Copies of this chain bind each other. A is one copy, B any other.
């Protein structure tokens, strides 16, 4: 379970970044794109199940997700795992390791992923020459913090049913903004163990909880994944108001 080496080959030049086709993402100007093209050292293609970033590693790169699903997680010495967040196209990953010198979480691919690879030691250059991009990076860090705040609220204070409902409403809205929802329905490539590790519950209890959501028609479990069917019901069960749909930065 080891990540493929980043390749210098480019399926996607920055000028034709696949994220640009989503109205959810703000636009970069020519100079920024030119700089990003140099900042980018290549692309990483990761198979489902591979570990993209390893806790404790001193990574020389940070990455933007171009396609696919992944998750961020931390583990305790005895193997207990907490999934911190899910990773979707447009997300910047590895910033903590770049800015703070050591990754304290890992990232694993849930589906085949393509990631844009940036070189950490060019980050100070970016901050000097492109304050707007630096501001975008700070925006991305603040956004991750804001998501973590709501996730921590959920795990700490919501009931199991509310937690599950919030999780799928949250994933649904993030996926919607990158056009993954088809006909009002989203397929999420996770097992119930993933869901359990995200909600802070056992697999058995998670199964019971997901059955409750299914019986209400909010979602349907498949093998190794589920269809999210009713965003509104999930928001209502969890008492969550949703994410902003305003266009947002990416790099």
Interface on A for B, CB 8 Å cutoff? 72, 74, 76-78, 80-82, 84, 95-96, 99-100, 104-105, 123-124, 127-128, 131-132, 134-135, 137-139, 141-146, 148-153, 155-158, 197, 199-200, 239
The closest CB in chain B to the CB of A81 belongs to B157
User: Are A158 and B96 in contact (CB-based, < 8 A)?
Assistant: no
Asked if B100 contacts A152 (CB within 8 A), the reply is no
Verify B144–A99 contact, CB threshold 8 A: no
**CB within 8 A of A100: which of B99, B142, B151?**
B142
A18 to B28, CA, bound (A): 41
A76: chain B residues at CB < 8 Å are 153, 157-158, 239
Residues of the B chain whose Cβ atoms lie less than 8 Å from the Cβ of A77 = 239
- Which chain B residues border A132 with CB–CB below 8 Å? 127
Q: How far is the CA of A74 from the CA of B151 in the complex (A)?
A: 11
A141 contact from B145, B156, B157, B239, Cβ within 8 A:
B145
Cα of A72 to Cα of B148 in the assembled complex, Å = 13
Given contacts A84-B152, A157-B82, whether A135 and B142 have CB atoms under 8 Å apart is no
Which residues of B lie under 8 Å from residue A151 when comparing CB positions?
152
